[in-house]
Amino acid sequence: MNGFNAFRDHYGFVAANQVLSFFSQTLSECLAQYGTPEDFAAMHSETHYSIFTFTTQLAALIAALQDTLRTSLLAFHTFTDRERGYLILQDGQSEQYAPLLSAEISVVEYRQPTASDAPRAASA
């Protein structure tokens, strides 16, 4: 999740906790709809999560996550911040700009090794 620390600094702990709850609930709901009973989601930190899935509907799972998170994360910001497109953080007498909440999804695929994957001795 991108922009979470700035969001917490700007809106406070309670709002940040609501974002974390929403994010976790979204992962669970999408896994329930497109995953298998053996799937699970793990939280590494407030901003990093992993999903372990055996689904055959990976594209649908990713699309559901992207669609839900793209639209719903913005709803946690005020109208003014959404219209502006960024947060303004006050740091003493200076202002800093920070991005709004967003999410990145990366896919790492594991496949069972085959005989052709075995290391081979190089010939000279």
pTM value? 0.81
Looking at the chain, the whole-number percentage of residues with pLDDT higher than 70 is 96
What H or E segment, with its residue span, contains residue 62?
Answer: helix 58-72
> What DSSP string runs through 66-88?
HHHHHHHGGGGS-HHHHHHTEEE
First CA to last CA across the chain, in angstroms? 49
| Dist CA 34 CA 26 (whole Å) | 12
Q: Tens of pLDDT along 82-98?
A: 999 999 998 888 999 99
pLDDT at 30: 94
DSSP state at residue 115: G
Per-domain boundaries in the chain: 4-107
pLDDT at 123: 52
At position 41, the amino acid (one-letter code) is A
Q: Tens of pLDDT along 36-75?
A: 999 988 888 888 999 999 999 999 999 999 999 999 999 9
How confident is the prediction for the chain on average, in pLDDT? Answer: 90
